[in-house]
Every structure is written in structure tokens, then in C-alpha cells.
């Protein structure tokens, strides 16, 4: 049923991946290090996400974490490496830094450009870079004790990996600004009220159960229809409604086809789950 076997998710050091029933589950797996984002993480995350997109039968991705906290954000080793390298002619150093930021941002962009939805299940703290990552997910869910923190401001720098770019589309601006300027924690309750998370669960087990049940509902739908939803909503965030309606119609011209509609309607009549084709992988050879 899944092609996980065919995918080389064995040598990962910062996360584990399993794919079952069309749901890919990525778990941050350095609990004793608070799942901090070490250099390997920045390579593994986009590579894993793109592999799932290209080669698997997954129709939705769930991200959660092992241990007490979701993630402490950027590992200090990254800063230390950078500090060592922070020398030379200042214009070239600045240009190098600019490209490094682009590269790190791209690791999280992968969550946005992958064709299937990405749901995040958060317990404990999600700090600094973790908020950048969560902002690039489709929807967020958390436990009662979870908290979120734009920590970067408190260590003397401006968060640069997506938080300040995506949060203003996700929660009220007045609150985004307070959180960013102060670097204070956002509690689960506040996160629910402001729309940053969709639902709050009592504990990590209830959380994962709840999120998996939503993932299951998504995986039961046509992956083409769901992919279209994701592409359209992201597009709408960044374009005018007129442009977005044009994009919708142009997309639909090729992507609306009868087979999935027939499958869905037939299954509803017969009261059994519909069986949709997978999303296609690439053309065999360019």
C-alpha cells in the first residue's frame, strides 16, 4: 500500500519518517537535545519532504516531535560555525550571509511547495526556528501546555526564516507584533483564540490521535482535489482575488476531469470509501 520501503529514510539523524495509509509521519527525533535544529536537520527536512512528494503514495504529511518539547529552534552549533566563518571583506561576507539565509528559508519553503497538506502536532515548547517552521505548515494543533516563542528578538537578532513573513497572514497583526517585539511566550489558549492553532488537545497522545484522524479524513479525498486546494490557498495569500480567480480557472481547465468525480459520487452511492489514483510522479525521462 505504501512505497516507504522504496524510499531511503534509513540514514536520517534528526527525524524519523513512516508512511502508512497515505499518511506520512515525520517525527523530530533528537528529544534529549530538544530537537534543536543542527546542520543535518536543514538538509534532511527538505530532502525528506521532497522524497515524500515525488516517490510516495502519501497524501498528507504530519509533523510531530519526540520528547518533552517540539523544538528549541536553531542549534547553537550553527551560530558557532557561522561566527567562525564571519570574517573577510565585509561586502562579500554580507553577500554570503544573504545566500545562507535563502538556503535556510528554502528548507521550510519545501513544506509549502510540497503538493500534499502538512499538519503540525505540537506539544511542549516551539521556540525560534520552530515557529518559522510551523508558520510554513498548513495547519497547527497543540496540547494544552504547549507554547510558542519568537525567541530570536531576545538574542539580539531579527527572526529571518519565515515567521515574520508568514505569521501576519495567520494571526492578527497586533498580536504578531507584540510577540515579535517582546519575544514572549504565546500560550496554547491564546494560540487557539487568535487562530494560530486550530484545536487544543489535553495531552500528546490525544493530540496525535486527533491530528491523525484529521489526516485520515484528508487522505480519504482525491489527492488531486486536495492538491488543488493547497495550491489555490497559498496562491490566494500572495495575489489579488482577480489574479487568484484566473489562476483557479486556468488550473481547473486541465485538472478538472471526470474520473475522480465519478469515483467519489459512485462511492457515496455505494457507501464505501472511494479509491482514487495516486498523484503522478514525474515524466519517466525528461
Q: Cα Rg for the chain, rounded, in angstroms?
A: 20
User: Could you say which residues in the range 237-256 bind a copy of itself, by CB under 8 A?
Assistant: 237-256
Residue 210 engages a copy of itself in binding (rule: CB under 8 A)? no
Write the interaction track for a copy of itself spanning residues 56-95; mark x where CB under 8 A is met and - where it is not. Answer: ----x-----------------xx-xxxxxx-xxxxxxxx
Please pick, from the candidates 48, 176, 188, 208, the single residue that binds a copy of itself as defined by CB under 8 A: 176
Q: Determine if 197 is a binding residue for a copy of itself (CB under 8 A).
A: yes
Q: Which is nearer to a copy of itself, 65 or 218 (CB)?
A: 218
Give CA angle at 157 (161, 103), nearest 5°. Answer: 30
Interior/surface letters 152-187, b for 16+ CB within 10 angstroms, e for the rest: bbeeeeebbbbbbebbeebbeeebbeebbeebbbbb
Give me the residues paired with residue 139 across strands. Answer: 119
Q: Closer to a copy of itself at the Cβ: 169 or 203?
A: 169
Binding piece for a copy of itself, criterion CB under 8 A, among 8-16, 22-30, 65-73, 260-268? 260-268
Tell me: does residue 214 bind a copy of itself (CB under 8 A).
yes
Which residue spans within the chain are E strands per DSSP? 15-20, 23-28, 60-65, 118-122, 125-127, 139-143, 147-149, 185-187, 199-201
Does 208 bind a copy of itself (CB under 8 A)? Our answer is no
Maximum Cα–Cα distance across the chain: 70
Per CB under 8 A, which of residues 128..167 are in contact with a copy of itself?
Answer: 138-140, 150, 152-160, 162, 164-167
Rounded CA-CA distance 196/178 in Å is: 15
* Closest CB to a copy of itself among residues 69, 227: 227
Amino acid at each position: 500500500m505504501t512505497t516507504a520501503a522504496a524510499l531511503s529514510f534509513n540514514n536520517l539523524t534528526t527525524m524519523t519518517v513512516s508512511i502508512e495509509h497515505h499518511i506520512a509521519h515525520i517525527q523530530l527525533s533528537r528529544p534529549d537535545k530538544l530537537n534543536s535544529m543542527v546542520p543535518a536537520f536543514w538538509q534532511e527536512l527538505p530532502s525528506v519532504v521532497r522524497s515524500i512528494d515525488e516517490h510516495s503514495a502519501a497524501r498528507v504529511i504530519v509533523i510531530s516531535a519526540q520528547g518533552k518539547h517540539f523544538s528549541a529552534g536553531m542549534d547553537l552549533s550553527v551560530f558557532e560555525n557561522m561566527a567562525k566563518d564571519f570574517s573577510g571583506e565585509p561586502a562579500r561576507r554580507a553577500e554570503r550571509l544573504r545566500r545562507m539565509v535563502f538556503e535556510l528559508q528554502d528548507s521550510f519553503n519545501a513544506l509549502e511547495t510540497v503538493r500534499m497538506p502538512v499538519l503540525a502536532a505540537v506539544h511542549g515548547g516551539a521556540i525560534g526556528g520552530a515557529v518559522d517552521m510551523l508558520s510554513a505548515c498548513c495547519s497547527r494543533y497543540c496540547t494544552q501546555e504547549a507554547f510558542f516563542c519568537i525567541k530570536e528578538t531576545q538574542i539580539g537578532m531579527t527572526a529571518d526564516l519565515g515567521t515574520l513573513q508568514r505569521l501576519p497572514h495567520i494571526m492578527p497583526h497586533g498580536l504578531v507584533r507584540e510577540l515579535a517585539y517582546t519575544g514572549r511566550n504565546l500560550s496554547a489558549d491564546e494560540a487557539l483564540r487568535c487562530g494560530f492553532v486550530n484545536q487544543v488537545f489535553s495531552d500528546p497522545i490525544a493530540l496525535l490521535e486527533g491530528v491523525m484522524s484529521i489526516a485520515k479524513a484528508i487522505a480519504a479525498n482525491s489527492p488531486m482535489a486536495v492538491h488543488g486546494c493547497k495550491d489555490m490557498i497559498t496562491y490566494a495569500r500572495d495575489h489579488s482575488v482577480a489574479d487568484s480567480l484566473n489562476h483557479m480557472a486556468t488550473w481547473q481547465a486541465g485538472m478538472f476531469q471526470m474520473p475522480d468525480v465519478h469515483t467519489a459520487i459512485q462511492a457515496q452511492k455505494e457507501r464505501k470509501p472511494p479509491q482514487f489514483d495516486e498523484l503522478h510522479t514525474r515524466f519517466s525521462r525528461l
